[in-house]
């Protein structure tokens, strides 16, 4: 450990995290590029070539030219995902599996008949109504 001073450990760690941030930024640019419906196929191909051939310059030019739209598209996607999730939860919370309501109702009717609150005739009528 004596041949690798603390400052070198710090600098190595910093460069590693900067590299990870660069990779994340690169993936974010490509994801935004392919999600955008406003850019046609040739435009996407051009941006891809530019970012692959000159990665630093390509990413920085992309962020300068399309950075504001990138944030707006990401926010719109988040709103759509949130809305779809809320609709799914609302639908799942209100819907019951087929037959679950009927089975519960029949169980309650049987309990009322056992306790003597319903006569056999009333039980049969309520049962036929629940099954209908």
User: What is the predicted pLDDT for the residue at 79?
Assistant: 95
Q: Is residue 1 part of a domain?
A: no
- The number of residues making up the chain comes to 132
Same domain, 51 and 111: no
Residues 109 and 49 in one domain: no
C-alpha–C-alpha distance, residues 122 and 53, integer Å: 82
**Quick one: CA torsion of 101, 106, 107, 111, rounded to 10 degrees?**
140
Q: Where are the alpha helices (DSSP H) in the chain?
A: 6-35, 41-53, 55-94, 100-115, 120-131
State which residues form the domain around 128: 99-132
Note the pLDDT of residue 17.
Answer: 97
Helix (H, G, I), strand (E, B) or coil at 6: helix
Q: Are residues 103 and 89 in the same domain?
A: no
Together in a domain, 47 and 28 = yes
What per-residue confidence (pLDDT) applies to 43? 93
pLDDT of residue 32: 92
Residues of the chain with pLDDT under 70: 1-2, 95-100
Residue 128's nearest CA partner among 105, 111, 112 is 105
Q: What is the average pLDDT value for the chain, to the nearest integer? A: 87
Total domain count for the chain? Answer: 2
pLDDT in tens, 82-104: 999 999 888 877 765 555 677 77
């Amino acid at each position: 450990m004596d041949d690798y001073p603390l400052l070198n450990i710090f600098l190595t760690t910093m460069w590693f995290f900067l590299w990870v941030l660069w990779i994340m930024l690169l993936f974010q640019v490509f994801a935004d590029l392919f999600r955008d419906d406003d850019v046609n196929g040739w435009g996407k191909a051009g941006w891809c070539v530019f970012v692959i051939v000159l990665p630093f310059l390509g990413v920085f030019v992309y962020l300068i030219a399309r950075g504001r739209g990138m944030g707006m598209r990401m926010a719109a996607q988040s709103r759509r995902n949130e809305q779809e999730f809320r609709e799914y939860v609302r639908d799942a919370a209100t819907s019951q599996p087929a037959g679950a309501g009927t089975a519960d109702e029949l169980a309650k009717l049987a309990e009322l008949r056992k306790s003597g609150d319903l006569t056999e005739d009333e039980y049969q009528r309520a049962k036929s109504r629940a099954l209908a």
